[in-house]
Amino acid sequence: MSYLMMDLAGLSVSEEEAALLQHQQVGGIILFSRNFSNKAQLIELVKSVREIRADLLIAVDHEGGRVQRFREEFTLIPAMGDILPAAKGDMALAQRWSRELGFLMAIELVACDIDLSFAPVLDVNGVSDVIGKRSFSAKPKEVGLLAESFIEGMNQAGMAAVGKHFPGHGSVKADTHVAMAEDNRSKDEIFNFDMQPFKQLMAKKQLNGVMPAHVVYKQVDPNPAGFSSYWLQDILRQELAFDGVIFSDDLGMKGASFAGDYLGRAQAALSAGCDMILVCNDPEGVKTLLSEFSWPEKGPTSNAQGLKADMAQVMIGLGSTERWEKAQMLAKQILS
**CA-closest candidate to residue 273, choices 232, 240, 332:** 232
Active site residue 214: no
| 8 A C-beta contact, residue 251 and residue 269 | yes
CA distance 331 to 268: 41
Report long-range pairs for 34-38 (Cβ below 8 Å, ≥24 apart): 34/9, 34/10, 35/7, 35/8, 35/10, 35/11, 35/69, 36/11, 36/69, 36/70, 36/72, 37/11, 38/72, 38/73
Q: Strands 162-166 and 209-212: what pairing?
A: parallel
Q: Side chain identity at 276, as an amino acid letter? A: M
**CA-closest candidate to residue 79, choices 69, 89, 65, 67:** 65
| 8 A C-beta contact, residue 1 and residue 28 | no
Q: Which of 23, 177, 234, 243 is catalytic?
A: 177
| 8 A C-beta contact, residue 309 and residue 282 | no
Q: Name 71's bridge partners.
A: none
**CA-closest candidate to residue 83, choices 334, 310, 269, 292:** 334
Residue 66 annotated as lining a ligand binding site: no
Residue 23 annotated as lining a ligand binding site: no
How far is residue 291 from each of residues 263, 299, 330, measured CA to CA in Å? 11, 18, 48
Active site residue 243: no
CA distance 157 to 151: 10
Q: Strands 245-250 and 276-278: what pairing?
A: parallel
Residue 169 annotated as lining a ligand binding site: no
| 8 A C-beta contact, residue 193 and residue 143 | no
CA distance 211 to 319: 31
Q: Which of 249, 250, 275, 310 is catalytic?
A: 249
Residue 96 annotated as lining a ligand binding site: no
**Annotation: binding site for substrate:** 61, 69, 134, 164-165
Q: Just list the catalytic residues.
A: 177, 249
**Annotation: binding site:** 61, 69, 134, 164-165
